[in-house]
């Protein structure tokens, strides 16, 4: 994990970040979507719509399949239970759940519970909290679902590769006491290449800083090969409409499993952002005709009342090639005729989450006393093997950890010094409160997250309590940046793990 081997992981990588917007570009992996022979592909089952698994004992199987993205494109993928996204796991707050993962893939896998404060041994990071699950083996994860909300799960074994191939699903924890919406839909966003074999070009050592707005200036390559954007593994007309009835309260759980930011526009309705990264917002105000920007790894729950009969769109805004097919229809039952049209290129304001909702004091403030303070300067540099992404000038595992002990109050300043790269920073095992952006305190609802996106030049201050002992990763969720070094750890000095990685085991590849 220390260094990215560009010949195997980023050979053929293309970066087209902030796909639904006009922001600068991010990395995306193609290397493992290529070189698939027809003979292998024909032996794979077809991926189906995601299933929902409930109860206290869940069975998942990691296996290969074919994903029919639209009527023209079918791609070989990795799946949990044969679909992309994988099966949704839906449990109730307070449940102790067991998830049995059987590995039928030709390589090791794990599951990381993204955003969920599981015990450290259940975090699914090979070589850090467990050994990767070998082909043919089964491993059981067990933890109590203490915190309600919208989360997701994905492999953390060679995650830049395996997540890119579809190895992810959603994890919903229903609260004990909350009025349920009449309709509850989960939408997972991702990006794909329609013909990866034709895109097999060696771009090792390329300068990411020269890539923006769909082109790579230093090499004059057309970066529009990332031409398919999907919702729940489907694109364009293959995306099933969301059915509603007049008067219903509708909740949409939005999950970004890709490596690009997506700006989403709900047509025809006011809506409220009721949660981010699973955590509720205080008194969210209605929004109309504003874009919700969802970065890699983030989740947003939005709610609206179906009070405008017809057919409407939730669509991605921007000018990338795949943007026009990342939209889903919202159809009122019993209504006929179209009442809406796409406007994906319209320039609309973006919701400012730092001033959204009712302002009140959260658990942390900027001026209180902290036991640990850490500055995380995020950078881009050229290493001897190509581009690297650094924390305080170092790449993992040379990055200095955030050393804490149980009960410590921790303040972290994150600064993005990369000239063009976005860095969605994700902390395992904890939630943090966002206190300020670019030196200005948050003026909206207390903003509690596990993944925070930093654009070039941005600075945030966040705080959390060290209340979950273990060794936890804190890394960029553009997983190629993590693979190329942008990882550190939150290390508890008073925690002693009973897991001891074998230094001779070369199969554990946490990024």
Give tens-digit pLDDT for 389-411. 999 999 999 999 999 999 999 99
Kindly indicate the confidence band of residue 291, based on its pLDDT and cuts at 50, 70 and 90.
very high
Task: Determine the Cα–Cα distance for residues 8 and 31; give it in Å rounded to an integer.
Answer: 7
Domains 179-200+223-351 and 372-492 share a fold: yes
Q: Label residue 12 by pLDDT band (50, 70, 90).
A: very low
* Confidence (pLDDT) at 405: 98
Rounded Cα distance between 457 and 418, Å, is: 7
pLDDT attached to residue 198: 53
List beta partners, residue 113: 153
* Residues 6+ positions from 134 with CB-CB distance below 8 Å: 103, 108, 507
pLDDT at 331: 96
Mean pLDDT, residues 3-31 taken together: 37
Where do the structural domains in the chain lie, given as residue ranges?
52-175, 179-200+223-351, 372-492
Q: Tell me, which fold does domain 179-200+223-351 have in CATH?
A: Immunoglobulin-like (2.60.40)
DSSP 84: S
Q: Burial, 454: exposed, middle or buried (Cβ in 10 Å; 0-12, 13-18, 19+)?
A: buried
Q: Which of 179, 149, 172 is nearest to 448 (CA)?
A: 149
Q: Using CA atoms, how far apart are residues 184 and 23, in angstroms rounded to an integer?
A: 31
CA distance 284 to 202: 47
Q: What CA–CA distances, in Å, run from 406 to 288, 409, 434, 465, 470?
A: 43, 9, 21, 8, 9
The distance of Cα 197 from the centroid of its chain, to the nearest Å, equals 26
- The C-alpha atoms of residue 104 and residue 93 are separated, in whole angstroms, by 30
**Is the pLDDT at 199 greater than 80, yes or no?**
no
Residues 6+ apart with CB under 8 A from 361: 446
Window from 140-149, 223-232, 301-310, 421-430 with minimum mean pLDDT: 223-232
Q: How far apart are CA 83 and CA 65, in angstroms?
A: 7
Give pLDDT, residue 154: 98
H helix intervals, 132-235: 159-162
What's the Cα-to-Cα distance from 92 to each of 114, 172, 175, 180, 430, rounded to whole Å?
A: 17, 8, 6, 13, 20
Angstrom distances, CA of residue 502 to CA of 123, 297, 492, 507: 18, 30, 21, 10
| pLDDT band at residue 40 under the 50/70/90 scheme | very low
Q: What is the mean pLDDT of residues 182-187?
A: 97
pLDDT of residue 225: 64
pTM (2 d.p.): 0.88
Check residue 336 and give its pLDDT: 76
The confidence score (pLDDT) of residue 19 equals 54
155 pLDDT more than 50: yes
Residues 6 or more apart in contact with residue 488 via CB below 8 angstroms:
376, 391, 396, 399, 400, 401, 402, 473, 474, 475
What is the C-alpha radius of gyration for the chain, rounded to an integer number of angstroms?
A: 21
d(C-alpha 229, C-alpha 74), whole Å: 14
pLDDT above 60 for 422 = yes
Contacts for 367 with CB less than 8 Å, ≥ 6 apart: none
Which CATH architecture fits 52-175? Sandwich (2.60)
Q: What is the pLDDT of residue 215?
A: 25
CATH number of the 372-492 domain = 2.60.40.420
pLDDT at 10: 32
Beta bridge partners of residue 98, listed in sequence order: 57, 142
Percent of the chain with pLDDT over 70: 84
- Compute the average pLDDT of residues 229-247: 96
Position 383 scores a pLDDT of 86
Mean pLDDT for the stretch of residues 46-65: 86
**pLDDT: which is higher, 21 or 330:** 330
By C-alpha distance, which of 22, 91, 16, 84 is closest to 47?
Answer: 84
216: confidence class by pLDDT, cuts 50, 70, 90 = very low
Mean pLDDT over residues 267-296, rounded?
Answer: 97
Model pLDDT, residue 7: 29
User: From CA 469, how far away is CA 46, in angstroms rounded?
Assistant: 42
Residue 45 banded pLDDT, cuts 50, 70, 90: low
Contacts of residue 444, defined as CB under 8 A and 6 or more positions apart, other chains included, come to 281, 352, 353, 354, 355, 356, 357, 358, 359
User: Where are the extended beta strands (E) located within 259-385?
Assistant: 262-266, 272-276, 279-280, 292-294, 299-305, 311-317, 327-332, 372-383
How would residue 1 be classed by pLDDT, with cut points 50, 70 and 90? very low
Q: Is the pLDDT of residue 62 over 60?
A: yes
| Distance, C-alpha 204 to centroid of its chain | 25
Measured between alpha carbons, how far is 224 from 14 in angstroms, rounded to an integer?
9
């Amino acid at each position: 994990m220390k260094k990215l081997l560009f010949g195997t992981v980023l050979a053929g990588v293309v970066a087209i970040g902030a796909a639904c917007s006009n922001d600068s570009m991010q990395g995306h992996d193609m290397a493992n979507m290529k070189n698939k022979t027809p003979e292998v592909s024909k032996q794979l089952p077809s991926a189906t719509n995601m299933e929902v698994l409930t109860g206290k004992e869940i069975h998942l199987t990691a296996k290969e399949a074919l994903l029919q993205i639209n009527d023209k494109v079918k791609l070989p993928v990795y799946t949990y239970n044969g679909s992309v996204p994988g099966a949704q796991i839906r449990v109730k707050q307070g449940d102790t759940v067991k998830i049995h993962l059987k590995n039928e893939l030709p390589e090791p896998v794990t599951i990381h519970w993204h955003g969920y404060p599981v015990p450290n041994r259940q975090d699914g990071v090979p070589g850090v909290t467990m050994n990767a699950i070998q082909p043919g083996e089964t491993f059981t994860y067990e933890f109590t679902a203490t915190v309600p909300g919208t989360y997701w799960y994905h492999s953390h074994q060679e995650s830049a590769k395996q997540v890119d191939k579809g190895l992810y699903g959603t994890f919903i924890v229903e609260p004990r006491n909350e009025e349920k919406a009449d309709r509850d839909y989960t939408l997972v966003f991702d990006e794909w290449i329609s013909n990866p074999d034709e895109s097999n070009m060696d771009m090792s050592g390329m300068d990411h800083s020269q890539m923006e707005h769909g082109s790579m200036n230093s090499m004059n390559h057309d970066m529009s090969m990332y031409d398919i954007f999907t919702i729940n593994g489907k694109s364009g007309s293959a995306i099933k409409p969301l059915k509603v009835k007049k008067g219903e309260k509708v909740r949409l759980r939005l999950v970004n499993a890709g490596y690009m930011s997506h700006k989403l526009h709900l047509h025809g309705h006011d809506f409220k952002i009721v949660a981010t990264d699973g955590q509720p917002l205080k008194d969210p105000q209605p929004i109309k005709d504003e874009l919700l920007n969802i970065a890699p790894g983030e989740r947003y729950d939005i709610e609206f009342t179906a009070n405008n009969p017809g057919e409407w769109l939730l669509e991605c805004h921007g000018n990338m090639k795949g943007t026009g097919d990342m939209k889903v229809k919202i159809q009122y039952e019993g209504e006929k005729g179209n009442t809406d049209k796409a406007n994906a290129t319209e320039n609309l304001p973006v919701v400012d989450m730092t001033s959204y909702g009712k302002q009140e004091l959260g658990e942390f403030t900027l001026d209180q006393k902290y036991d640990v303070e850490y500055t995380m300067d995020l950078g881009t540099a050229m290493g001897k093997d190509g581009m690297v992404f650094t924390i305080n000038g170092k790449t993992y595992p040379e990055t200095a950890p955030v050393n804490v002990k149980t009960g410590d109050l921790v303040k972290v300043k994150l600064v993005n010094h990369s000239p063009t790269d976005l860095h969605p920073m994700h902390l395992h095992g904890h939630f943090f409160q966002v206190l300020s952006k670019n030196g200005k305190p948050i003026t909206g609802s207390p903003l509690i997250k596990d993944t925070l996106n930093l654009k070039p030049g941005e600075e945030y201050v966040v705080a959390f309590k060290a209340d979950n002992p273990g060794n936890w990763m804190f890394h960029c969720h553009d997983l190629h940046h993590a693979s190329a070094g942008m990882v550190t750890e939150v290390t508890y000095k008073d925690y002693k793990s009973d897991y001891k990685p074998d230094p001779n085991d070369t199969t554990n590849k946490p990024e």
